[in-house]
Amino acid sequence: MKIAVHQGSYAELPSAVATSGADLVIAAEMITTGYHIGARSHELAEPADGPTAARMSALARETGAALAYGYPESDGDHVHNSVQLIGPDGRRLANYRKTHLFGDIDRDWFAPGAEAVVQAELGGLRVGLLICYDVEFPELVRAHALAGTELLVVPTALMSPYELVADTLVPARAYESQLFVAYANRCDTEQELTYCGRSCVVAPTGEVLARAGSGPELISADVTREALAASRLENTHLADRRPDLYRGLSV
């Protein structure tokens, strides 16, 4: 499966999808509205099947590419920082709500999600969803690996000076939990925040298959179940676990 990461604006997303030639295009955290927008998160929030979802479904059908994108999701009295996965036929495959909220930017405006592992089958792979800060918790990524996730999709809004997360931590997560990771960052500025870009697609070997710079860019890479199986034969972290020793780590 060919995947592409759109490191650019929402306005540029349709043309990026149309020219990507990808089976799956991944966009950033809260790409539809902006991330550091305070109360406007609530003003602009929509249900998972709202007007924005309808536009994204239409884009998927027109281009034949699946889409993963971040948006503010309204659900009754709550608003969640969410990512939605749309299939190439326009059908909604999965919706994940960010579980680990980052600082006041998240906690002041969003309710945390309650489901750690959200997955869907796409292009012969099991795709899992996380958002930004979530990937910095190894327990959560390992939970995905143990639940069968093969490609972990992570829309993000990583700002400077935390480039270490994109450059070092994300490849480490892919290697230690033996899965592909697609990390889709922003590269714009909101108030005092400058998003650092550096989106990437990383193999379970830890190899960075594609890496963006600090500006608008479309990157792509091929991910296959065969490459994953070969990596897991070489790297036996998952097979060599000792769960009997780890029980105390959950509290």
Active-site residue set: 29, 98, 132
CA distances from 143 to 20, 76, 116, 140, 149 (A): 31, 29, 8, 5, 9
- The secondary structure of residue 245, as a DSSP letter, is G
Q: Are 147 and 120 in contact (CB under 8 A)?
A: no
CA atoms lying within 13 Å on the CB side of residue 14: 9
- What span, in angstroms and rounded, lies between the C-alpha atoms of 237 and 217? 34
- What span, in angstroms and rounded, lies between the C-alpha atoms of 110 and 53? 19
CA distances from 72 to 47, 92, 107, 126 (A): 8, 16, 13, 24
Which residues, including other chains, have CB under 8 Å from residue 215's CB and lie 6 or more apart?
7, 187, 197
CA distances from 48 to 16, 105, 169, 226, 228 (A): 23, 21, 30, 33, 31
Max Cα distance, the chain (Å): 51
